[in-house]
């Protein structure tokens, strides 16, 4: 099969909303380490990892062996039966997650993980109202879309009542038109007024990503979460950290994004990079919150033994090879190179991120900061022509997002930056 043939059939038989990247989409056929190959045999350096999923590289031998071994032994149980792989992963989460997070519920996606967390918070507090952030994204269920902070994903008006959005800690485009640090993190302090004016005052939860991923890698000021979470707790709500993008060493130096902000969540959610590409979702909570969720609840594929073994093997590789540290070192190197590009290309308005989660926001004019989505699209296409895959995001579709596997080397980064450089230069001609 060729790229053209597969992408044509994709258009014919998949829903129109299942859009692919690129003017000429590619069909991926194979992966190994940092690389993927398309159906025409062209090799690409994968700097997006299928949306920050392939944490330890494509077809990692240790993860593959665990998957094959488990598939040969027992492929399915459902949550109605206990299983060794499921309890082993739950125990591991209790051990490595911060604070008093202790009990897990497994599902198959980030959407379900967030949905489970929000339901647990409502059941525990006996309240209904949920605060999320503008520019956030937490999945495609009715509740997740009701908390989403980006118009493009909100294909229907909020279907779940009681969801309100706080201003994002988006310093480059401060919603309050202030400047950090003189602002005194006014965006976090705004939560008090939000609760007092836009809710009944009875808040169940505040759900937030430690770095807003799909929103364009928006990194909050270091004081943001301490301030925001303290306010929410004062009003009786719990804090859910959505680690779907920021977990597993991605942000560099720490296993979880929220650890950079010195706040202990009441509930944490995972998916994406947790099992290196095998479908998984996880919600870990403080014991009393987890146990306030009454029976019955089940997930047919939750705790699937193949997913559990894949996650355990992925975490083993991340720990054994100290990939959180690698993400920090190589991520800092990438950041420095991107700052260098910013000095040379006016189109780059902002460079931001942490670890191997780095992005550049493209603008038509640095002064007005008018978003430049068409250029973003073209830079992606140019990078692809040069054999490098990158992602994009942001509410205005103008942020190039990089999220390579955590095994990336400085040499890989040189190749990525060379492709970006050549792509940006080509657009100036």
Ligand X SMILES: Cc1ncc(COP(=O)(O)O)c(C=O)c1O
The site for ligand X, by CB under 6 A, has a size of: 15
Q: Which of 242, 266, 361, 412 binds ligand X (CB under 6 A)?
A: 242
Residue 59 Cβ vs ligand X, minimum distance, rounded to whole Å: 21
Binding segment for ligand X (CB under 6 A), chosen from 12-20, 133-141, 375-383, 419-427, is: 133-141
Cβ-based nearer residue to ligand X, 3 or 97: 97
Long-range residue pairs from 343-347, CB within 8 A, at least 24 positions apart, any chain? 344/421, 345/424, 345/428, 347/372, 347/375, 347/424, 347/427
Query: What is the distance between the alpha carbons of residues 171 and 420, in angstroms, rounded to a whole number?
Result: 24
- Backbone φ and ψ for 421, nearest 5 degrees, come out as -60, -50
Stretches 110-118, 122-130, 197-205, 358-366: which one binds ligand X (CB under 6 A)? 110-118
Q: Which of 114, 129, 227, 372 binds ligand X (CB under 6 A)?
A: 114
Instruction: Please tell me whether residue 245 binds ligand X under the rule CB under 6 A.
Output: yes
Residue 114 or residue 227: which is nearer to ligand X going by CB? 114
Helix axes 186-198, 224-234, angle to 10 degrees: 20
Under the binding rule (CB under 6 A), the answer on residue 271 touching ligand X is yes
Q: How many CA atoms lie within 13 A of 60 on its CB side?
A: 28
Among 244, 308, 317, 354, binds ligand X (CB under 6 A): 244
Under the binding rule (CB under 6 A), the answer on residue 109 touching ligand X is yes
The single residue among 213, 257, 303, 394 that binds ligand X, judged by CB under 6 A, is 213
Instruction: Please select the residue that binds ligand X; options are 102, 209, 259, 382, rule is CB under 6 A.
Output: 209
Which among 132, 139, 129, 137 has a CA at the least distance from the CA of 160?
Answer: 129
Please give the structure tokens belonging to residue 70: 């488990």
> Based on CB atoms, which residue is closest to ligand X, 271 or 284?
271
110 near ligand X, judged by CB under 6 A: yes
Site string for ligand X, 32-61 (x = CB under 6 A): -------------------x----------
Q: Identify which range of 14-22, 66-74, 238-246, 314-322 contacts ligand X by CB under 6 A.
A: 238-246
Q: Which of residues 351-370 bind ligand X (CB under 6 A)?
A: none
List the one residue from 49, 50, 57, 139 that touches ligand X (CB under 6 A). Answer: 139
* 241 vs 322: CA distance, rounded Å: 23
Q: Which residue is nearest to ligand X (CB)?
A: 110
CA 424, 425, 427 angle in degrees (round to 5)? 65
Q: Which is nearer to ligand X, 156 or 295 (CB)?
A: 156
Determine contact, residues 288/376, Cβ cutoff 8 Å.
no
Q: In this structure, are residues 221 and 181 in contact, taking their beta carbons and an 8 Å threshold?
A: yes
Residues 272, 51 contacting (CB under 8 angstroms): yes
Q: Counting contacts by CB under 6 A, is residue 216 touching ligand X?
A: no
Q: Looking at 99-107, 188-196, 208-216, 403-411, which segment touches ligand X (CB under 6 A)?
A: 208-216
The bridge status of strand 399-402 relative to strand 391-393 is antiparallel
Complex with ligand X: residue 110 or 277, whichever CB lies closer: 110
Residues in contact with ligand X by CB under 6 A are 51, 109-111, 114, 137-139, 209, 213-214, 242, 244-245, 271
């Amino acid at each position: 099969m060729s790229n053209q043939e597969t992408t044509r059939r994709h258009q014919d038989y998949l829903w129109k909303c299942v859009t692919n990247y690129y003017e000429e989409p590619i069909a991926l056929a194979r992966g190994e380490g940092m690389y993927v190959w398309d159906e025409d045999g062209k090799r690409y350096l994968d700097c997006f990892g299928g949306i920050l999923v392939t944490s330890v590289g494509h077809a990692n031998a240790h993860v593959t062996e665990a998957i094959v071994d488990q598939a040969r032994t027992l492929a399915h149980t459902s949550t109605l039966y206990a299983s060794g792989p499921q309890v082993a992963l739950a125990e591991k989460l209790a051990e490595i997650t911060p604070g008093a997070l202790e009990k897990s519920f497994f599902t198959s996606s980030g959407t379900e993980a967030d949905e489970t967390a929000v339901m647990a918070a409502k059941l525990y507090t006996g309240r209904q109202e949920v605060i999320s952030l503008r520019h956030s994204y937490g999945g495609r269920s009715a509740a997740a879309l009701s908390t989403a902070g980006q118009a493009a994903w909100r294909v229907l008006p909020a279907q779940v009542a009681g969801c309100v959005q706080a201003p994002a800690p988006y310093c480059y485009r401060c919603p309050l038109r202030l400047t950090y640090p003189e602002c005194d993190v006014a965006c976090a302090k705004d939560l008090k007024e939000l609760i007092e004016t836009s809710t009944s005052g009875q808040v169940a939860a505040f759900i937030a990503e430690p770095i807003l991923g799909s929103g364009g890698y928006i990194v909050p000021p270091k004081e943001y979460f301490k301030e925001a979470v303290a306010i929410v707790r004062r009003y009786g709500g719990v804090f859910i950290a959505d680690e779907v993008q920021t977990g597993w060493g991605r942000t560099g130096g720490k296993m979880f994004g929220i650890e950079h902000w010195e706040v202990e969540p009441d509930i944490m959610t995972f998916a994406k990079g947790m099992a290196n590409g095998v479908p998984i979702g996880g919600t870990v909570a403080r014991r009393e919150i987890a146990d306030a969720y009454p029976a019955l609840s089940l997930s047919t594929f939750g705790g699937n033994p193949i997913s559990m073994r894949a996650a355990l093997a992925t975490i083993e590789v991340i720990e054994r090879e100290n990939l959180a540290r690698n993400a920090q070192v190589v991520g800092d190197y990438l950041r420095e190179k991107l700052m260098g590009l910013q000095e040379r290309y006016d189109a780059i308005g902002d460079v931001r991120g942490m670890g191997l989660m780095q992005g550049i926001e493209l603008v038509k004019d640095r002064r007005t900061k008018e978003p430049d989505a068409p250029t973003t699209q073209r830079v992606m296409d140019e990078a692809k022509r040069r054999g490098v895959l990158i992602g994009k995001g942001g509410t205005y579709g103008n942020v190039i997002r990089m999220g390579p596997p955590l095994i990336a080397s400085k040499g890989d980064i040189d190749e990525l930056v060379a492709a970006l450089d050549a792509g940006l230069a080509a657009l100036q001609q």
